[in-house]
Amino acid sequence: MSRDASPGGLTLRLEEEFRKTPLAENLGHSLAPQALEPLGPADYPAFGRGDLLVTRHRGEFIKPCPGTLNYNCCGLTIFHFGLGCTIGCRYCILEAYLGTAALVLFGNVAEGLADLRELLRRPPAERPRRFCTGEFTDSLLLDKRTGLAAELITMFAETEGAVLELKTKTDHTDHLLGLKHKGRTVISFSVNAPDICRCEESGAAPLSARLKAAQRAAAAGFPVGLHFDPLIVHPNWEEGYARTAQMIGEHLAGAEVAWVSLGCFRYLPSLKEVMLARHPETSIYDGEFIMGGDGKMRYPRPLRTRMYRTLVKALREALPEKTVIYMCMESPRVWRDVFGRDPETEGLAAELDRRAMELCG
């Protein structure tokens, strides 16, 4: 039986102005709301694990992926609906970045959905092709309570020339499988070597549960995506990643796998101290790292190249040729060493756009 990765024991704290919104009503089916004074991000650290804050977002809901200096980016556009995650991966930047273990959902998300609807009404040539949710959270962690993904899937099903990607480390997908999607939503699973899933992502659904959820999504006609990010050096990593690739082949034979991204472990120096204080037993920060051109610590280039080549070979054996395999936030030099070419950010984005358009017809 799979573990339920959704956070239990949540206290819903809701700003008064959002009490009558569809989001509050959906959350109210399983949680009793408590009143919350209007907050800003500077107030989030006063709350902690178990708090679910529904508050106003004052910035943009739709924005391009920020990418990272000197590395090729895949060019996704993000729909930003909330912050925080309880899965607790020991490499997660959120631990150092957010300053709180509380979860935050934007009570005015309807304004964001209206902006998105308007953007999707523009002719395809005048707007992005690929969208995702969850820059600072897991796309589906709370979705069984919020119902947001269903609204987005329906919106994209009604829009030609655009694809939505929902990325998760949960197996919270079955409530979406009956929706009309027209192949325009890719349900993506973040996966890793079995030992990394077990030890470093212990709050996530087990690897086999994620792949079974992917299998069910594919059976319901959804294209699926896979993300190996971060690839982590650990004892027998070659065998570990080969095993995951083999499991992918077993679960997704015949499925429409849109794309697989690969990204080696990288972190801001400040994250290491935070994580080692919380998880002194983890060894993922041991070993050799160098400072990259974006200020993040990365494995040395020859090691990254070896890891990518190992994965690409194993995945090519497991998946059909048309599956796009690409690297997330990698340097032109590593692209040339692994794939024999450097598409640059524009070329990579165009390649993924083409694949997205193939999927959604």
Among 12, 36, 53, 85, binds ligand SF4 (CB under 6 A): 85
Question: What letter would DSSP give residue 198?
Answer: H
Asked whether 308 and 264 are in contact (CB, 8 A), the reply is yes
**Binding segment toward ligand SF4, per CB under 6 A, in 42-50, 84-92, 207-215, 345-353:** 84-92
CB 157 → ligand SF4: shortest distance, Å? Answer: 26
Q: 163 near 142, Cβ under 8 Å? A: no
Question: What residues form DSSP beta bridges with 261?
Answer: 227, 326
Among 81-89, 256-264, 272-280, 353-361, the segment contacting ligand SF4 (CB under 6 A): 81-89
Footprint of ligand SF4 on 134-163 (CB under 6 A): 137-138
**Considering the complex, what minimum distance in angstroms separates the CB of residue 89 from ligand SF4?**
3
Is residue 312 involved in binding ligand SF4 (CB under 6 A)?
A: no
For ligand SF4, which is the closer residue by CB, 85 or 334? 85
* Residue 287: DSSP 8-state: S
Residue 89 lies near ligand SF4 (rule: CB under 6 A): yes
User: Helix, strand or coil for residue 338?
Assistant: helix
Binding segment (CB under 6 A) for ligand SF4, from list 83-91, 111-119, 142-150, 305-313? 83-91
Closest separation between CB of residue 320 and ligand SF4, Å? Answer: 27
DSSP 8-state assignment for residue 319: S
Stretch of 41-49, 85-93, 281-289, 316-324 contacting ligand SF4, by CB under 6 A: 85-93
**Contact call for residue 169 and ligand SF4 (CB under 6 A):** yes
- Span near ligand SF4 by CB under 6 A; candidates 9-17, 89-97, 98-106, 305-313: 89-97
Residue 103: how many CA atoms within 13 Å on its side-chain side?
25
Give yes or no for residue 88 binding ligand SF4 (CB under 6 A).
Answer: yes
Binding footprint of ligand SF4, residue count (CB under 6 A): 9
**Smaller CB distance to ligand SF4: residue 159 or 190?**
190
Q: For residue 312, give the nearest of 261, 354, 266, 251 by alpha carbon.
A: 261
Residue with Cβ nearer ligand SF4 (103 or 319): 103
Whole-angstrom Cα distance, residue 254 to residue 239? 24
Q: Which of 52, 76, 94, 224 binds ligand SF4 (CB under 6 A)?
A: 94
Looking at the Cβ atoms of 157 and 276, the one nearer to ligand SF4 is 276
Nearest distance from residue 276's CB to ligand SF4, in Å?
A: 17
What are the two backbone dihedrals, phi and then psi, of residue 230, each rounded to the nearest 5 degrees?
Answer: -100, 145
Q: What is the DSSP string of 76-95?
A: -EEE--EE--SS--TT-THH
| Rounded Cα distance, 247 and 243, in Å | 6
Q: How far is the CB of 2 from ligand SF4 (least distance, A)?
A: 16
CA dist., res. 351 & res. 89, Å (int): 30
Is 233 near ligand SF4 (CB under 6 A)?
A: no
92 binds ligand SF4 (CB under 6 A): yes
Q: Which stretch binds ligand SF4 (CB under 6 A): 12-20, 24-32, 82-90, 219-227?
A: 82-90
Rounded Cα gap, residues 134 and 338, in angstroms: 29
CB neighbourhood size of 128 (10 A): 18
Single-letter code of the amino acid located at 15: E
Q: Which residue type occupies 144?
A: K
d(CA 224, CA 231) in angstroms, rounded, equals: 20
Helical H segments across 131-288, by residue range: 143-146, 148-157, 194-200, 207-219, 237-252, 269-278
Residue 353 as a binder of ligand SF4 (CB under 6 A): the answer is: no
Determine, following the binding rule CB under 6 A, whether residue 165 of this chain makes contact with ligand SF4.
no
* Distance from C-alpha of 213 to C-alpha of 3, rounded to nearest angstrom: 12
Is residue 51 part of the contact set for ligand SF4 (CB under 6 A)? Answer: no
- Please report, as ranges, the residues that interact with ligand SF4 according to CB under 6 A: 85, 87-89, 92, 94, 137-138, 169
